[in-house]
Structure 1
Amino acid sequence: MHDTPSTGPHDLAVVGTGVIGALTAYYACLREPGLRILLVSHGSRVHGATALSAGFDTLTGRDEVQRELALRSTKLFDKLAGELPGLPRRRLAVHWVVARSGAAALDATLAGGSRTTPVDEEHRQALGQVFPGLRVGGDQVLLSSAPMAVGGPRALADRLLDHVLGRPGSMLAEGFRVTGIRRDGRRLELTAADGSVLTARRAVVAPGPWALDGPVADAARARGARVKKVVAFHVLTPPPPGAPALVFEDDDAFLLPDEPGGRWILSITSPDWDRDPDGPLTIGPHDRALALALLERHVPGFVPHLTGGRVFSDCFTPGHLPVVETAGDPDVVMAIGGSGSGYRLAPALAEHALTLLYGRTTAP
């Protein structure tokens, strides 16, 4: 293949235009303003988990590494808000239902040394007006933590991609399904399913749920990556202004107010593993049964309003710890394993990917 002004070699190819890929490209522009960046998406430019994620940014982590990623991402999100005014992001109060015996373990997951506090009776009664029929089991406690954030992953990715594509020499290749990346001298060749080729000097592969079908598939499988269905129901009753989130820690589920949509989002943990992200994904009767059982236990007043929702898939890794490392070539970095937390950890993951390629961190 012969290089042309439109095909490369670009300085950096970012494979995957979800929120991790978009942030990677954006930060690359800040680090090296003259970089020619190639954005590659096998479908439309923002789809998959980023298009459908609720954007709940809990400042938590399963281990110290994930907590550090969460803290770093929060700092970077705050910086983004100053650089790109008008991004959808707001703080909200968060309450937790957890087994009494698990309260200390919950505190251990909170980043930055934060701790929960018990909800007193007056506050509990007020929460009952927001969550009708609120119930907490006899072996459970209702706790409050510091406010956390909710953002708009799709709006953020779109804004970042617009910024990158406004730079001279950068371009977007949609419908280019990368099946392999190989070195050809001082450049990388990205080959698509139809045999077409694009070139770049370096590449970051952030494929979301398509990690097991593409140029880093073998490396992803070697690290135990699997694809799982993610389900979020809609509870069609308007949340009051300033409504808090309610996290069911032992069920790995949460209720999140979607004030612009005039509804609540109920995210549950689906038991459906090893799902093809390109296959038909639907909310099944077993998903609805799980959601109804959860609401009947804790917020029975929401049961009549549980109607439809959103379903997608994500790549999960052991321990739910994302993997950001080189993949077969020092100029190819993969960022995989969002494990349902890809949005809230995305800034730190993007920063790490670029540090592996360029050897330094420029953001604060």
Structure 2
Amino acid sequence: MTRRLLFIGSGILGMMSASAAAKAGAFSEIIATEQAFGSIGASHYSGGVHFPYGRQARTRSLTRKSAVALAAMAGSDVNGWYRPLALRVAAGPDEAINPAQFTEPLDAARPDIGSLAPNFSDDTRFWNIGGAHVADVPALIAQLQRELVAKIRVAHGLRCIRLREKGDAAEAEFATGEIITADAVILAAGPWIVQPPFRELAETFSIRIKKVVALHLDRTSTPDDPLIFMPGVDAFLLPQPGVSRWLFSYTSADWDVRPETLACGLSRADLRAGRAVLEQFCPELGRDLTFGRVFCDAYSPTGPPVVARLMSKSRIIPAGAANGSGYRFSAQLAREAVALAAEDITVPRG
């Protein structure tokens, strides 16, 4: 029997899910659509950082399972899209660190914090921890598309304008006039999920969009420098030796932004907010945050991402709202979304 699976959105979650679906073999036809050519959404701006951490049991589980799957995908070719990293956890003098929130053991034995060591406050505490890596997310998406070229159809330039349940199928209509009917639809639209025609689904799951900012620190980094994670302020410093700088990602407080309005770049407020966070640990480095990148991502109200049916028999499955951690959770979220889509939900005809 022919079973068709449709993906709306071909970022990291969409393509990881398409790969999982091709391997599972539950669908005879797989179509992945993307409204642009290539990845222009959150995946394009992603730092690709994977660290073994989660505030909730659900996010820790996603992190652990995805880490195993991503390492297996990378195999021995660690010079491609995947690069293992040493990781240091940093905390202020009065900040409590909960070891249970990490999926790997913390080790306080004389951590080497690399070339930025002289810039940290003397009262900053550090731990060693394993299990971190960084990925070139657009390169991974391109690799998946090459690997799947004979197994799935990837359709660029298709903007969905209507998505609905229709009898025992789901139907997506695109701005080109094309209509695709499928047995199941995995909606991996990233921050566009709050816009028509998906807005009702987003409201049902209370999904909101928040700005994501990563600033470029104008200090040279080396291949031996570690990733430095600051869980208390939800920020990290990522060495980028290939471009002779660091990437500083911090948590923005700007909610309900729209992806199409962020093309104007960083604001003065973005720089000011990032400098204030970094200067809690490195008082002299804030002035070296002068440029960077800004976009947005979908966030769930409870923290863990959304992978669910709207109703028990629904054929439309929103997948995402990964709170800026789409890559870190992608492998396991993809498996869960495909497993849900593959369930037999045939409605008896009356």
| TM-score, normalisation: structure 2 | 0.89
SS of the aligned residue for 2:184 comes to strand
1:11, distance to aligned residue in structure 2 (A) = 1.3
AA in 2 matched with 1:280: L
Correspondence for 2:348: none
1:84, distance to aligned residue in structure 2 (A) = 8.0
AA in 2 matched with 1:20: L
| 1:179-218 equivalences in 2 (<5 Å) | 179-193=161-175, 195-218=177-200
Answering whether residue 339 of structure 2 is matched by residue 355 of structure 1, we say yes
SS of the aligned residue for 1:92 comes to strand
Answering whether residue 156 of structure 2 is matched by residue 174 of structure 1, we say yes
Answering whether residue 240 of structure 2 is matched by residue 258 of structure 1, we say yes
Does the 8 Å CA contact 2:165/2:315 hold for their aligned counterparts?
no
Between the aligned partners of 1:243 and 1:201, the Cα distance in structure 2 is 48
Does the 8 Å CA contact 1:227/1:273 hold for their aligned counterparts?
yes
Change (3 A) 1:309 1:104: closer
SS of the aligned residue for 1:27 comes to helix
- Counterpart pick for 2:285 among 298, 302, 307: 302
Larger helix proportion, structure 1 or 2? 1
Does the 8 Å CA contact 1:15/1:203 hold for their aligned counterparts?
yes
Between the aligned partners of 1:85 and 1:183, the Cα distance in structure 2 is 43
Does the 8 Å CA contact 2:53/2:63 hold for their aligned counterparts?
yes
- Counterpart pick for 1:336 among 313, 320, 326: 320
SS of the aligned residue for 1:279 comes to helix
Change (3 A) 1:41 1:85: same
Does the 8 Å CA contact 1:132/1:302 hold for their aligned counterparts?
no
1:307, distance to aligned residue in structure 2 (A) = 2.6
AA in 2 matched with 1:46: S
Return 70-79 or 33-42, whichever deviates more.
Answer: 33-42
Q: Which runs of 5+ in 2 are unaligned?
A: 345-350
Percent pairwise identity = 28
Answering whether residue 108 of structure 2 is matched by residue 141 of structure 1, we say no
Spell out, residue by residue over 1:313-363, the C-alpha distance to the aligned partner (whole angstroms, 9 max, x if none): 100112321010113553221102110111100010010001112249xxx
1:287, distance to aligned residue in structure 2 (A) = 1.3
1:43, distance to aligned residue in structure 2 (A) = 1.7
Does the 8 Å CA contact 1:119/1:143 hold for their aligned counterparts?
yes
Change (3 A) 1:33 1:261: farther
1:216, distance to aligned residue in structure 2 (A) = 3.7
Does the 8 Å CA contact 2:114/2:224 hold for their aligned counterparts?
no
Does the 8 Å CA contact 1:179/1:213 hold for their aligned counterparts?
no
Does the 8 Å CA contact 1:136/1:142 hold for their aligned counterparts?
no
| 1:94-173 equivalences in 2 (<5 Å) | 94-100=87-93, 102-105=95-98, 107-111=99-103, 114-118=104-108, 120=110, 123=111, 127=113, 129-137=115-123, 141-167=125-151, 170-173=152-155
Does the 8 Å CA contact 1:131/1:299 hold for their aligned counterparts?
no
| TM-score, normalisation: structure 1 | 0.86
AA in 1 matched with 2:39: V
1:199, distance to aligned residue in structure 2 (A) = 2.5
Between the aligned partners of 1:156 and 1:214, the Cα distance in structure 2 is 29
Aligned pair count? 341
Q: Which runs of 5+ in 1 are unaligned?
A: 1-8
AA in 2 matched with 1:333: I
| 1:229-308 equivalences in 2 (<5 Å) | 229-281=211-263, 282-308=265-291
Does the 8 Å CA contact 2:8/2:186 hold for their aligned counterparts?
yes
Return 248-257 or 321-330, whichever deviates more.
Answer: 321-330
**What is the Cα-based RMSD across aligned positions, in Å?**
2.5
Between the aligned partners of 1:87 and 1:181, the Cα distance in structure 2 is 37
Between the aligned partners of 2:320 and 2:337, the Cα distance in structure 1 is 11
Does the 8 Å CA contact 1:233/1:306 hold for their aligned counterparts?
yes
